[in-house]
Amino acid sequence: MKVALIGCGEVGRILSEDLRQAGHAVTAFDLKLATAQAAPMREHAARHGVVLAATHADAVRGAALVVSAVTASQTLAVAEACAEGLQAPAGRGAFFLDFNSASPGAKIRAAAVVDAAGGRYVEGAVMTTLPPYRLKVPLLLGGPHAAALRPVLAEAGFTAARVASERLGVASATKMCRSIMIKGLEAMVIESFTTARHYGVEDAVIASLYETYPGIDWEKQGAYLFQRVIEHGRRRSEEVREVAQTVREAGLEPFSATGTAERQAWVADRGDEGWFGERGGPGFARSPDWRTEADRILQNLKGHDR
């Protein structure tokens, strides 16, 4: 099967590796291929036998399955950019699986573009982090073409995909509501633990958390959450802005989601400034103890606006 991947980030790389290993032909495109960040993407593609296309439309032309895995804010733009390729005779009827963490409204607008171009849009909601599950990640499918796509995905290796609803927006709403809690917990842990470290009360705070929620290893979870936000805060902040939009679409003011997005973006900005070591380097978000990362934040805050 020919598969087109739009987006060569962490998700795109994992999918391309597994799909190629399963024997599928993979074509990919990423806007960053035209920037100084292209070299690692091109090296990865060459190593795994992935064909890099010059445009969105070139990537999807002739594909049986298109997977859009970009930042949430680009959900509709990618659907529009792929439309020309889906209109080509060889591309008509291609499934367009939208992996992006976008609001139900954004997914519905993207579906209208894809379906009008001759594709078959299916919203996909990834219900946990892709690694270590990879192709076997729990995946909710939504929309009128979801049931038809499921056996195609099973053939490709997505064995944990299931249909949530024939109605667009249900799968993404499930994902977005979950993210209010999960991404919010990430932001709260960083804020709470770093502040506790400043006052020297972190051990007492964690002991109290263990008493209240004994099923969570707060030391281990704290280190994991610090690392995830430091490494992926930019992408997470964009996702949570879509979460906030989902809350607005329900008629509520997204106080919690907005704050979470701001904290995630704040950490990403500090990472770009080198607070956690060189991005991708050995010192970047690799500590098994969250205290190391909290201390980096506190040390760098000295002399900076907080």
The domain ranges of the chain are: 2-167, 172-301
The whole-angstrom separation of Cα 62 and Cα 77 is 20
User: Of 268, 304, 275, 75, which Cα lies nearest the Cα of 186?
Assistant: 268
Give residue-wise pLDDT tens across range 16-45: 999 999 999 999 999 999 998 899 999 999
Mean pLDDT of 78-87: 92
Q: Is the pLDDT of residue 131 over 90?
A: no
129-152: buried (b, 16+ CB within 10 Å) or exposed (e) per residue? ebeebebebebbbbbebbeebbeb
Look up residue 152 and give its two tokens. Answer: 């195609």
Model confidence at 227: pLDDT above 80:
yes
Cβ-contact 82, 114 below 8 angstroms? yes
* Percentage of the chain exceeding pLDDT 70: 97
Name the residue among 120, 127, 128, 172 with its Cα closest to residue 146: 120
Give the CATH superfamily of 2-167: NAD(P)-binding Rossmann-like Domain (3.40.50.720)
CA angle 244, 248, 253 (to 5 degrees): 85
Q: What is the pLDDT of residues 136-151, one digit of tens each?
A: 999 999 999 999 999 9
Read off the pLDDT band of 306 (50, 70, 90): very low
- Statement: residue 75 has pLDDT above 70: yes
Tokens at 258, concatenated: 């907005």
In percent, how much of the chain has pLDDT > 90?
Answer: 86
What letter does residue 72 receive in the DSSP assignment?
G
Kindly report the CATH class assigned to 172-301.
mainly alpha
Q: What pLDDT shows up at residue 90?
A: 62
Asked if pLDDT for residue 80 goes beyond 90, the answer is yes
Q: Is the pLDDT of residue 279 over 80?
A: no
Q: What are phi and psi of 27, to 5 degrees?
A: -115, 140
Residue 285 pLDDT grade (very low, low, confident, very high; cuts 50, 70, 90): confident
Q: Which of 126, 133, 128 is nearest to 67 (CA)?
A: 126
The mean pLDDT of 54-62, rounded to a whole number, is: 94
Secondary-structure percent of the chain, ordered helix, strand, coil, rounded to 5: 60, 10, 30
